[in-house]
């Protein structure tokens, strides 16, 4: 019989093909609950009859051999024609299990933790134990509620590791910057801006336009207290700046001395703890800046080795954004259309419809990859500002009364469709702007690698 389609789409069709013509009594289900140290597994048949009670095993040679032997024993006992293995995506602890089972020829379905939660809830059981989790995982496998069954490998895995590490370090840097500003509120609050009243109107006088620039950080590190600045004087500060090759003009120093002279000067002993913490925070900030730069350099080199380099031809998409998008995207061959990627990101709007009514779109589902979803929002915001081809789409949404955040998500989804087509057909971005030049677009985005290297990778592919 010829079927039109499966109610679960491509995933459902694959599952149907896997079990087609197989006696369900001979289908083996292996549910694995991953953890940092104590992994647990349960083996049953397709109808839930337990063949091997829940048992612990370690992710090491001995533990994996125990798991293999239990699976083989159950396969023999059941005369299994199909073996379906699933593991809950708990942190990163499940990854080694998937890889080791893959070496033995087993495909492993990854189960979202939210899915097991819903399975427990559907059983009207509010308890949570390892055994209940295993039952929920087994039921999810039987009902084909798994996600992807492949982990990123090679260059793609490296790029994902680098991008996620960079994002974590950027967040740490943001926290450190907040800490430094808070400490300066106690030490020398006017350094961040001296408020002056002119014609009954407040005006803020800034020493440096960029608080985190080299010149500003030099003062924060060397002269964090206004008395230090006043003691040094104009000539000595200018000489130090010249020795450090800082772009600090006489005007900057004059403003600095003016702000110091009009600031409330606290006793150093009273704020000695804050001064110590400030010194440590600035050292930490320098370390984070260096680590982020190192990660970005490696990301740029790695991105050029992948098809993700095509994304650099899109105005508004830089190296970092392209690397994050491509690494979270995964293998493009796993998808038939862009809608699957939108669902993976969880940026697909939830449809509310009943009783034959027209229905409407609600909020986004947020049921996908949170890292991918964050990247899509960032991309939407970036291309709304820097892509003249796609900006009108954003303007139309705003004109209809859409909030900026919703418009960014919609624009990000539109980019997914464009990027999917680019990567699927191996074609660069096509702009309608008369001044658009592909090589110029790429060249201005590369910081650590020359355009010739980009072209070499492109030609090799």
pLDDT of 318-347, one tens digit each?
Answer: 999 999 999 999 889 888 899 989 988 989
Flag whether 167 is in a domain.
Answer: no
Which of 291, 312, 333 is the endpoint of a domain?
A: 291
Flag whether 380 is in a domain.
Answer: yes
State how far the Cα of 47 lies from the Cα of 27, in Å rounded to an integer.
9
Which of 267, 291, 315 is the endpoint of a domain?
A: 291
Question: pLDDT below 70 — which residues of the chain?
Answer: 1-4, 7, 124, 148-149, 352-361
Domains: count for the chain: 3
Q: Which of 441, 211, 224, 423 lies closest to 326 in space, CA to CA?
A: 423
**Which run of H or of E encompasses 197?**
strand 194-198
Residue 351 CA neighbour count, 13 Å, CB half: 6
Flag whether 375 is in a domain.
Answer: yes
Both 13 and 139 in a single domain? yes
Both 314 and 267 in a single domain? no
- Find the length of the chain: 461
Which tokens hold the place of 249? 């003009």
Which pLDDT does position 449 carry in this prediction? 92
Flag whether 219 is in a domain.
Answer: yes
Q: Is the dihedral of CA 313, 314, 316, 318 positive or negative?
A: negative
Both 134 and 193 in a single domain? no
Classify residue 204 by burial, with Cβ atoms within 10 Å: 0-12, 13-18, 19+.
exposed
Which pLDDT does position 357 carry in this prediction? 62
Both 145 and 253 in a single domain? no
State how far the Cα of 249 lies from the Cα of 2, in Å rounded to an integer.
79
Both 426 and 354 in a single domain? yes
State how far the Cα of 54 lies from the Cα of 6, in Å rounded to an integer.
33
Flag whether 119 is in a domain.
Answer: yes
Which tokens hold the place of 174? 């943001």
Return the biggest CA–CA distance within the chain. 91
Flag whether 165 is in a domain.
Answer: no
Which pLDDT does position 52 carry in this prediction? 95
Both 373 and 450 in a single domain? yes
Q: Are 332 and 402 in contact (CB under 8 A)?
A: no
CATH code at position 25:
3.30.420.140
Both 325 and 389 in a single domain? yes
Q: 56 — phi, psi (to 5°)?
A: -90, 150
Flag whether 437 is in a domain.
Answer: yes
Both 142 and 47 in a single domain? yes
Buried b (16+ CB within 10 A) or exposed e, 440-450: ebbeebbeeee
Which tokens hold the place of 154? 């090679």
Both 146 and 221 in a single domain? no
Question: What would the pLDDT profile of 98-156 be if each residue is shown by its tens digit?
Answer: 999 999 999 899 998 878 888 888 876 777 888 899 999 999 999 998 876 678 889 99
Which pLDDT does position 3 carry in this prediction? 65
pTM for the structure as a whole: 0.86
Domain with 92 in it: 9-151
Both 96 and 235 in a single domain? no
Which of 231, 256, 291 is the endpoint of a domain?
A: 291
Three-state DSSP at 109 gives strand
Both 313 and 350 in a single domain? yes
State how far the Cα of 328 lies from the Cα of 322, in Å rounded to an integer.
10
Both 144 and 214 in a single domain? no
Flag whether 160 is in a domain.
Answer: no
């Amino acid at each position: 019989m010829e079927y039109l389609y499966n109610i679960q789409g491509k995933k459902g069709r694959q599952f149907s093909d896997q079990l087609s013509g197989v006696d369900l009594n001979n289908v083996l289900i292996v549910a694995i609950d991953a953890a940092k140290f104590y992994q647990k597994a349960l083996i049953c048949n397709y109808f839930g009859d337990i063949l091997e009670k829940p048992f612990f095993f370690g992710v090491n040679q001995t533990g994996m051999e125990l798991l293999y032997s239990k699976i083989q024993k159950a396969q023999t006992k059941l005369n299994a024609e199909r073996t379906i293995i699933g593991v809950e995506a708990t942190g990163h602890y499940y990854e080694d299990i998937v890889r080791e089972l893959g070496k033995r020829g087993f495909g492993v379905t990854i189960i979202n933790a939210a899915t097991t939660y819903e399975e427990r809830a559907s059983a009207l059981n509010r308890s949570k134990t390892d055994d209940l989790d295993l039952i929920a995982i087994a039921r999810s496998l039987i009902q084909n509620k798994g996600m992807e069954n492949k982990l990123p490998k090679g260059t793609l895995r490296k790029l994902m590791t680098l991008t996620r590490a960079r994002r974590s370090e950027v967040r740490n840097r943001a926290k450190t910057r907040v800490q430094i500003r808070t400490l300066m509120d106690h030490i020398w609050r006017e350094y961040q801006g001296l408020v002056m009243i002119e014609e009954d109107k407040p005006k803020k006088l800034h020493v440096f336009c960029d608080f985190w620039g080299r010149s500003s950080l030099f003062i924060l590190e060397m002269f964090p207290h206004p008395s230090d600045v006043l003691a040094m004087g104009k000539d000595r500060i200018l000489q130090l700046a010249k020795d450090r090759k800082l772009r600090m003009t006489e005007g900057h120093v004059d403003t600095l001395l003016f702000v110091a002279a009009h600031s409330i000067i606290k006793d150093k002993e009273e704020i000695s703890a804050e001064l110590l913490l400030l010194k440590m925070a600035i050292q930490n900030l320098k370390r984070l800046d260096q680590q982020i730069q190192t990660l970005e350099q490696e990301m740029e080199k790695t991105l050029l080795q992948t098809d993700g380099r095509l994304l650099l031809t899109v105005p508004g998409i830089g190296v970092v954004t392209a690397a994050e998008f491509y690494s979270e995207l995964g293998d493009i061959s796993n998808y038939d259309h862009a809608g699957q990627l939108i669902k993976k990101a969880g940026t697909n709007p939830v449809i509310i419809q009943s009783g034959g009514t027209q229905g409407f779109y609600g909020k986004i589902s947020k049921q996908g990859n949170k890292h991918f979803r964050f990247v899509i929002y960032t991309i939407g915001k970036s291309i709304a500002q820097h892509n003249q081809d796609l900006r009108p789409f954003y303007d139309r949404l705003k004109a209809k009364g859409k909030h900026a955040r919703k418009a960014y998500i919609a624009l990000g989804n539109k980019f997914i469709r464009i990027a999917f087509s680019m990567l699927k057909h191996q074609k660069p971005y096509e702009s309608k702007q008369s001044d658009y030049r592909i090589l110029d677009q790429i060249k201005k985005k590369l910081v650590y690698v020359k355009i010739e290297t980009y072209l070499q990778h492109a030609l090799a592919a």
